[in-house]
Amino acid sequence: MWIRFVLLLLLLGMALPSPVWADGVMDGKGFYGRYSLTKPTVEESRGTGVIHRINLRTRTVNLTLEPIANLAWPRKTRDMKTTRRVGLVKFRPGDRVRFSLKMGRDGHYRIFKMAKR
């Protein structure tokens, strides 16, 4: 009797629509909906910071970023990759900069525009 009851509950559970799938969208990159645990990514964002180091070979800058609200990033120091469009030779450590970030195909943000403040 107990096994029949459990089987009945399982069958009823599979027959009812899930609220997660009912309110969300499956876009091939992941599920984002009202009940999703993963936060949708922001495609493009802007920020400001101070450059500490520049690596021309790896096209990376180490900088202290001011908080970026739409990415929920606090103030922090980190290495950021740049695209080929950013002319790193015109920047020096200590420069205060403003920049634009863009999500790459690999899921990491890269600086694609940067200018001195």
SS3 letters for 60-106?
Answer: EEEEEECCEHHHCECCEEEEEEECCCCCHHHCCCCCEEEEEEEECCC
* Domains by residue range for the chain, with CATH: 2-32 (no CATH), 44-116 (2.40.50.320)
What kind and span of H or E run contains 24? none
Q: Which pLDDT score, from 0 to 100, does residue 3 have? A: 81
Model pLDDT, residue 4: 79
pLDDT of amino acid 22:
43
How many residues belong to the chain?
117
pLDDT tens-digit map of 9-35: 666 666 555 544 444 444 444 444 444
Q: Is the pTM of this model over 0.75?
A: no
State the 10-residue block means of pLDDT for the chain, 117 residues long. 72 57 44 46 86 96 95 94 94 97 89 95
Please name the residue that has the structure tokens 């403040």: 117
